[in-house]
Amino acid sequence: MIEDNLTLAWIYYLLGAAGLMLVGWRITRWISRPFLRHQCLVMMLVLLVCPFSIGEGYPQLAPALLMLAMETVFEGGEAFFRVGPTLIGTTLTVMLVFGLAEWSVWRGRKKQAGQEQMREDHDELVTASRARNN
């Protein structure tokens, strides 16, 4: 019974997180730089979906952001150090990985644009030299 309720709770939570991601996508559409927009959305996704153990000896997981909020409110500021470093580390790691992937794609596009420009310049020079020779 507990497993059924836990599964149902996670389904409801993930549906709510998907709704929040749609709202976040709508809010960030005004950001003109795709890299910054994607980083904001990735950070939001990680903060919403990252799971964390509810306590020692319990196999169940809960959203880390909710665990962070509940432990900080009910147990005080020192409880932040149980969930906080994991959540911050996970968020920064995922943002770094996605940032490197986007940088790699951007670099490839820039290189391809440079090669296309070189081909165009080469074709212009060949055409100009043929015109001079005739």
pLDDT at 3: 67
Q: Which helix (H) or strand (E) holds 63?
A: strand 61-63
pLDDT at 98: 84
As a whole number of angstroms, the distance between CA 38 and CA 59 comes to 33
As a whole number of angstroms, the distance between CA 86 and CA 92 comes to 10
In the predicted model, what is the mean pLDDT of the chain? 84
Going by C-beta distance under 8 Å and a sequence separation of 6 or more, which residues neighbour residue 98? Answer: 38, 39, 42
- Name the packing angle between helices 34-49 and 80-133 (round to 10°): 150
pTM: 0.66
Report pLDDT digits (tens) over 13-58: 899 999 999 999 999 999 888 888 888 888 888 888 888 877 777 7
DSSP 1: -
Does residue 66 have a pLDDT over 70? yes
Sign of the CA dihedral 32, 38, 44, 48? positive
Instruction: Please state, as a whole number, how many other Cβ atoms lie within 10 Å of the Cβ of residue 98.
Output: 18
Does residue 1 have a pLDDT over 70? no
Does residue 60 have a pLDDT over 90? no
Does residue 90 have a pLDDT over 90? no
Beta bridge partners of 51: 63
Going by C-beta distance under 8 Å and a sequence separation of 6 or more, which residues neighbour residue 13? Answer: 63
pLDDT at 34: 81
